[in-house]
Amino acid sequence: MQQLFHGGVHPEVDSLLTVEAPAFELPAPELLYIPLIQHKGAAAEPLVKVGDQVRLGQRIGDAEAAVTAAIHAPVSGEVRAIDAWHHPDGDTCPAIILENDGRDTPDEALLAPPRDLDALTGEEIIKAARDAGIVGMGGAGFPLSVKLSGSVGQIETVILNGCECEPMLHSDHSVMRHHADKVVQGGLLLRRAVQAKELIIAVEDNKPDAIAALEQAAAGLPQVSVRALPTRYPQGGEKILVKALLKREVPMGKLPAAVGALICNVDSAATLAEACRSRRPLISRNVTVAGSLLGKPQVLHARIGTPFSALIAHCEPKSPPRKLLSGGPMMGRAQYSMEVPVTKTVSGILLMTEEEARAVAPTTNCIRCGRCVKNCPMLLSPCYLNFYSDLGNLPELERLNIDNCIECGICTYSCPAHLPLLQKFRLGKLELGKQRRAAKQRKEGGKQS
């Protein structure tokens, strides 16, 4: 098979669902929990008080900081509480708890006449992204407006990432198939915002229907190309995608802008197109709900703040899950509660049965089989990283470029010794970070005295 980047794997897992029909609009639940952190950067401050009546699409959280994103009410109703609540990234986070009045009364801003997309200037587009609270919906959660304003003029190619970050997820697939025109429009808006030349939409070749829909939507637009890539995890990773498409490598610690590329998730692009036209903020998204114990696994369109349990209940679970993931099987986060809400970055909910969750063999010592080295997309030597992290040798970990690890989990996935490789590397990175901060403090302290 053609190999566009080093390593990678193609896990044979099937989510047993199709995106034949558009994603089902899940009715909003009675109570919605809207975390104030759903993005990279500063937490949003609540702009409402307990007891306030809010309207659908009204801005209810925001902050002054440079890197942050606004948060909007996904339904109309009453603010019942502002309190700590479960967060899909683990732990708890302050959240605005809304009681849905079931009427979906829209905010005034949403009632304004739709804008003409072609008339918008780059600045207006960036402002629209800011106003709509759009973030990277593939999982990174980086505020789109910040990404755009930081890279105006430096970008040659805008890449829309339709590679679906992980196996088993079909959220973006559904967007591309059923809203191809919005995806293309969004991509063109991004291109205009950063004054790029080219727009590439990258899709994996296991989604021929999405490719066909996009090609149709992009017909007659010479600046847009739809590229089918061989299906291989982790192609959806930014650095890997740039490598696969442009044959260029993003240096360690740099953003894709360093090689003239801007990457944006297809769903974010479609949301941007909608936000530019009708001013509708990011208040709902596609979520893949999959797992062998579901009677009807499917892609749902849910309001931000809907608890996982509501989505799961809609998919007819045959038994309670033993393990519940937010995200895909490779990088997803295990949840401790079914009541965690959908946020802007939750692309999938995965349920695992007892057997699937416990499918682990006993670990042995590293047998130096070389699979991890062969499969690591970032050209690392996980085997040696493992060796030095067992020794606690941080300088050597640093020399072996542990900072380059994108935490794709492929090493752990392929290790026949069943070693928790990535888990050790996370710890190593954490320790290294601590050490660096301590060293920096010492240095600064030294200067003062």
How far is Cα 140 from Cα 142, in angstroms, rounded to an integer? 6
How far is Cα 397 from Cα 320, in angstroms, rounded to an integer? 41
**433 near other proteins (CB under 8 A):** no
How far is Cα 308 from Cα 347, in angstroms, rounded to an integer? 12
Q: CB under 5 to 8 A by kind: which of ligand SF4, other proteins, none does 54 bind?
A: none
Touching ligand SF4, residues 384-443 (CB under 6 A): 386, 405-411, 414-417, 419, 421-422, 425
In the structure encoding, which two tokens stand for residue 316, read together?
Answer: 């007819």
Query: Count residues contacting ligand SF4 (CB under 6 A)?
Result: 29
- Minimum distance of other proteins from residue 225's CB (angstroms): 23
Q: Are 60 and 78 in contact (CB under 8 A)?
A: no
**9 near ligand SF4 (CB under 6 A):** no
Touching other proteins, residues 272-331 (CB under 8 A): 307, 309-314, 317, 320-325, 327, 329-331
How far is Cα 280 from Cα 56, in angstroms, rounded to an integer? 9
Touching ligand SF4, residues 350-379 (CB under 6 A): 366-372, 376-378
How far is Cα 163 from Cα 64, in angstroms, rounded to an integer? 33
For other proteins, what does the binding mask look like between residues 158 and 197, x meaning CB under 8 A? ---------x------------------------------
Give the residue with the Cβ less far from ligand SF4, 226 or 419: 419
Query: Count residues contacting other proteins (CB under 8 A)?
Result: 99
Beta strands in 223-340 (DSSP E): 224-229, 261-265, 284-290, 298-303, 323-326, 333-335
Give the residue with the Cβ less far from other proteins, 6 or 227: 6
Which of 23, 26, 37, 270 is close enough to bind other proteins by CB under 8 A? 26
- Residue 188, SS3 per DSSP: helix
Q: CB under 5 to 8 A by kind: which of other proteins, ligand SF4, none does 333 bind?
A: other proteins
How far is Cα 413 from Cα 420, in angstroms, rounded to an integer? 9
Task: Give 93-152 as a DSSP string.
Answer: EEEEEEEE-SS-PBPGGGGSPPPPGGG--HHHHHHHHHHTT-B-TTTT--BHHHHHHTTT
- Minimum distance of other proteins from residue 400's CB (angstroms): 7
Give the residue with the Cβ less far from other proteins, 215 or 407: 407
Percentage helix, strand, coil for the chain under 3-state DSSP, each rounded to 5: 35, 20, 45
Q: CB under 5 to 8 A by kind: which of ligand SF4, other proteins, none does 386 bind?
A: ligand SF4
**250 near ligand SF4 (CB under 6 A):** no
Give the residue with the Cβ less far from ligand SF4, 349 or 383: 383
The structure tokens 């998919």 sit at 315
Question: Where along the sequence are the contacts to ligand SF4 (CB under 6 A)?
Answer: 366-372, 376-378, 380, 382-383, 386, 405-411, 414-417, 419, 421-422, 425
